[in-house]
Amino acid sequence: MTELFAERYPEQARLVRAALLTSFVALGVGALFGLLQALHRTDVLRIVESPTYYTVLTGHGVFLVVTFTIYFLVGLYQWAVTDSLDRGPVNPRITWVWYGLMTVGTVLTAITILAGFLDDPPEVLGSELSADVLFTFYAPLQGNPLFYVGLAVFVVGTWIAGADWFRTWWAWKGDNPGERIPLPTFMVLTTMIMWYLSSIGVAVAILAFLLPWSLGIVDSVNPSLTRTLFWYFGHAFVYFWLLPAYMLWYIVLPKLSGGRLFSDPLARVVFILFVVLSTPTGIHHQYLDPGIAEGFKFIVMTNTMFLLLPSLLTAFTVVASMEHGARQRGGEGTFGWLRTLPWRDPAFTGMALAGLVFAFGGFTGIVNAGMNINYLVHNSVWIPGHIHTQVGTAVALTFMAGGYWLVPQLTGNRLVGRQAALFQVVLWFVGIVFMTNSMYRAGLDGVPRRSAEPQYAFDYDISLGSMAELDAQLALGGVLLFISTILFLGIMALTWRNDGTEPVVDGRIPPALSGPEDAPRVIDDLRVWTALAVVLIVLAYTLPLVAVASRGGLFGPDITPLPVAVDYWLPVLADLVGASIG
């Protein structure tokens, strides 16, 4: 039997290819918007007017953290389920239904965002066609109803995708009674349980409040309530980006290192901890929000600190697997084994560098999570620093590296330009170091995030450096990241077209050193972990939600919707800048 996924499962390979292609197109558009922002913010080059900066920023956020990441996720997970269960879906047509729904949702949302570039956007469904609401779309910012409809349809698509994977697993279970769930499928199912539990929050925020409000069916909403519902979902959302990257680190990275996964049971524990703890932590994004008692914030901080555990376990297991691989290849010494790792392989080096950056980004996450230190960094450009090390590198660079490994197996073509690919991942690493170094340092001094106009006098010195130097690093980092993205997309396009040259990739995943039989059976009982997660969510959220809703009313006081982000952010920025300069 051939080992090539595309030959074993041609229909599935087609879907995975379509998902990755959509993901990469979104990456290209999102990266272009990112470049525009970096150059605008630093005043190096201004192509759009400052109010349009928020259209660009919304597109950058949505196309990258929703479209790029989630299309990659569904592609990877479709591959993982099919490959590890060695069977296709029960009804392949359903697969195209959820893919179609996600795509309809994406197109609607993209149209509303891009319409923000028009001088005179048309009226649709009673309001101007635009949605400069940023990727968090908090009230009182208001977008066109189509924006919310698109998001809702997209989320429903992901729900059906999850149901599809569960169905495949049930069919497999019927044929293989008593067998342990293969690890990749276990990762898919646990991620989706987390996603179901958390995305209910954003679905309620959209369908019960924001959409009726933008349609004019209700006059106002309670901004605290919709924010709290958003963040009920929002922290688990960041792990929805992270867990597919973790899958690649656990499944593919040990193999690329020349060895085997150190412990399958530990990997399962990690994914279970994410199911249990991801949602009851969301309020750590609201430490500065009024209307939520400090005691609840403290509980959430405690949960968040426990939530470090799965990532620390991951650091241990993944590095141990890499070391095992290196020693198999003849590596010796306490650190000498690092040299024998396959650094010339772009898939390996991309993932390893992503892990390295993630270690630093994880530490900044710990800073964010401290209730007291959060006051220092909240709403400052430190937060985009954190975002770009985490989703912007740990996840994005892992996905690109994963693409170098997966796409040849999906297309049957050899990877074109291995040297260029190696250069590409290193260039990303260098770019992100410049960019986030600038963001973290400037943020500590109170330079605001989400602002088109954070210009300080050129020779203005903040305590951690001069603005000129920090801006130069930010702009340079942005340019390098953009070049790296274009290079990645070019290599992918050439590989896609390189028909007929057999890939040299070996798609088999070797068994773990400590296999699933070393884990107690209860680990695979997903009902237990789901129930535990529900209990924690009820404990963490019932009282805060009741308090927020009863204080502001379900539909809130009469608030005036704001059409563009700038109206909302300017007063916030004025406060921040005033506080740090004055």
Nearer CB in complex with ligand HAS: 228/390: 390
Q: Rounded CA gap, 152 and 171, in Å?
A: 29
For residue 381, the SS3 value is coil
Do you know the residue count of the chain? Answer: 582
Q: How would you class 203 by CB atoms within 10 Å of its CB: exposed for 0-12, middle for 13-18, buried for 19 or more?
A: middle
Q: How far is the CB of 569 from Cu ion (least distance, A)?
A: 20
Exposure b/e, 164-197, CB count within 10 A at least 16 = b: bbbebbeebeeeeeeebbbbbbbbbbbbbbbbbb
Q: Rounded CA gap, 265 and 515, in Å?
A: 7
Q: How far is the CB of 69 from ligand HAS (least distance, A)?
A: 8
Nearer CB in complex with ligand HAS: 380/413: 380
Give me 84's structure tokens: 């590890």
Nearer CB in complex with Cu ion: 148/287: 287
In this structure, are residues 300 and 365 in contact, taking their beta carbons and an 8 Å threshold?
A: no
- Is 358 near ligand HAS (CB under 6 A)? yes
Nearer CB in complex with ligand HAS: 232/241: 241
Nearer CB in complex with ligand HAS: 141/416: 141
| Residue 355 partner contact from Cu ion, ligand HAS, none using kind-dependent CB cut-offs of 5 to 8 Å | ligand HAS
- Is 359 near ligand HAS (CB under 6 A)? yes
- Is 314 near ligand HAS (CB under 6 A)? yes
Exposure b/e, 15-39, CB count within 10 A at least 16 = b: bbbbbbbbbbebbbbbbbbbbbbbb
In this structure, are residues 297 and 242 in contact, taking their beta carbons and an 8 Å threshold?
A: no
- Is 421 near ligand HAS (CB under 6 A)? no
Residues 6+ apart with CB under 8 A from 49: none
> Mask of contacts with ligand HAS, 318-337, x by CB under 6 A?
xx------------------
Give me 225's structure tokens: 């309530």
Cα atoms in the Cβ-side hemisphere of radius 13 Å centred on 350 = 31
Nearer CB in complex with Cu ion: 36/307: 307
Of 116-124, 197-205, 206-214, 361-369, which segment contacts ligand HAS by CB under 6 A?
Answer: 361-369
Nearer CB in complex with Cu ion: 140/234: 234
Of 235-243, 401-409, 419-427, 558-566, which segment contacts ligand HAS by CB under 6 A?
Answer: 235-243
**End-to-end CA, the chain:** 71
Question: Angle 50-62/565-581 helices, nearest 10 degrees?
Answer: 100
Helix (H) or strand (E) run with residue 256 in it: helix 253-256
Give me 532's structure tokens: 């535990």
> Mask of contacts with ligand HAS, 362-391, x by CB under 6 A?
x--xx-xx----x---x----x--xx--xx
| Residue 444 partner contact from ligand HAS, Cu ion, none using kind-dependent CB cut-offs of 5 to 8 Å | none
For residue 291, the SS3 value is coil
CB atoms within 10 A of CB 94: 15
Q: How far is the CB of 215 from ligand HAS (least distance, A)?
A: 26
- Is 311 near ligand HAS (CB under 6 A)? yes
Nearer CB in complex with ligand HAS: 103/304: 304
Nearer CB in complex with ligand HAS: 184/361: 361
Q: How far is the CB of 142 from ligand HAS (least distance, A)?
A: 18
> Mask of contacts with ligand HAS, 273-292, x by CB under 6 A?
-----------xx-------
- Is 309 near ligand HAS (CB under 6 A)? no
Q: Rounded CA gap, 403 and 409, in Å?
A: 10
Distances 219 to 394, 522, 556 between C-alpha atoms, Å: 42, 49, 9
Residues 132-161 that bind ligand HAS (CB under 6 A): 136
Residues in contact with ligand HAS by CB under 6 A are 136, 238, 241-242, 249, 284-285, 304, 307-308, 311-312, 314-315, 318-319, 352, 355-356, 358-359, 362, 365-366, 368-369, 374, 378, 383, 386-387, 390-391, 395
